[in-house]
A and B are shown apart, each in its own frame.
Chain A
């Protein structure tokens, strides 16, 4: 039973765009509401730039996530959701490093660059979350997720520091909070409180 489609983005990344000049990440996400089940998706692109006194490290890439959520309040009012779910995620990205080697007196000894263009990674996410219709089909919510089994391939002379969509590359598992704002496109008439209340 197809109820509707949510389309939106992650507020974390909007905040980064506004307040963190070294991180730019765009993500479109949502789900297909099948009443009790939600088929979830996300696609994003990311650019991370880490600058130190002697280096500039950049990561560029994209990622997608897909999975299934189970909604425990599908029979209650509105199209709200309290759910648990599982995701498979995959990322393809590149990393580059410009590094300056200094002598003991602080003068520049040499400058070197490294680049890895065919890095890839996959991982899984287990999550719980809620989505609430706050106003006129605008849904807000959050998820608490654990990302795990991160596997990276393609590393040669430069080790990956961050994986787009995952986070710190060397972490075996990560806990994350994500905040979403989404628009709900209903395919059927919205459930009302009266409809779910037994008649007298």
Chain B
């Protein structure tokens, strides 16, 4: 038993070191737009919000379907993807404000990587 164990330890160590070699690849998403879905009583509306000029609090105009303004208050979070891949900024919508409807909700507020999926904000 003892000889068997003494023999197998180095073998296991070498095999496991080879199998643990870090060969992860950089997977990045270079999103130009944030996709935000708004739900009313009758319909969902999907909007693509440009990320390049996103400020801490911004106001977007709706199209002809809903006339009004939408204000987004969100957090920026720094995330290290991988030392070889670099960083990305994660945008997480904290609050969405609109004067239009009490029944409007943000169904999908994920902009970059998911932090919290499908959290509805009842306005």
Q: Does any Cβ of B come within 8 Å of A51's Cβ?
A: yes
Interface residues of A in 56-106 (CB under 8 A from B): 57, 73, 76-78, 80, 97, 99
Binds B, one of A1-9, A31-39, A119-127, A153-161: A153-161
Q: Which residue of B lies closest to A134 (CB)?
A: B6
Q: Across the interface, which residues of B come within 8 angstroms of A77, CB to CB?
A: 1-2
Q: Does any Cβ of A come within 8 Å of B100's Cβ?
A: no
Residue pair B16, A177 in contact (C-beta under 8 Å): yes
Residue pair B78, A80 in contact (C-beta under 8 Å): no
The contact of A157 among B12, B20, B75, by CB within 8 Å, is: B75
Interface readout for B72-85 with A: 1 if CB under 8 Å, 0 if not? 00011111100110
Residue pair A54, B86 in contact (C-beta under 8 Å): yes
Interface residues of A in 114-170 (CB under 8 A from B): 114, 130, 132-134, 140-142, 144, 155-159, 161
Q: Does any Cβ of B come within 8 Å of A191's Cβ?
A: no
Q: Across the interface, which residues of A come within 8 angstroms of B76, CB to CB?
A: 157
Residue pair B13, A99 in contact (C-beta under 8 Å): no
Q: How many A-B residue pairs have CB under 8 A?
A: 66
Residue pair A52, B86 in contact (C-beta under 8 Å): yes
Give the bracket for the number of chain A residues in contact with chain B. Answer: 20 to 34
Q: Does any Cβ of A come within 8 Å of B87's Cβ?
A: yes
The contact of A55 among B1, B13, B16, B80, by CB within 8 Å, is: B80
Identify whether the interface residues of B are mostly helix, strand, loop, or mixed.
mixed
Q: Does any Cβ of B come within 8 Å of A179's Cβ?
A: yes
Residue pair B78, A132 in contact (C-beta under 8 Å): no
Q: Does any Cβ of A come within 8 Å of B36's Cβ?
A: no
The contact of B9 among A54, A97, A140, A161, by CB within 8 Å, is: A140
Q: Does any Cβ of A come within 8 Å of B32's Cβ?
A: no
Show 26 A/B contacts (Cβ-Cβ < 8 Å), sorted by A.
A50-B83, A52-B86, A52-B87, A55-B86, A55-B87, A57-B80, A76-B1, A77-B1, A77-B2, A78-B2, A80-B1, A80-B5, A99-B78, A130-B5, A132-B6, A132-B9, A133-B2, A134-B6, A144-B16, A157-B77, A157-B78, A159-B77, A159-B90, A177-B12, A177-B13, A179-B13
* 7 residue pairs, one from A and one from B, having the closest CB atoms: A177-B16, A50-B83, A161-B80, A132-B5, A159-B79, A57-B80, A158-B78
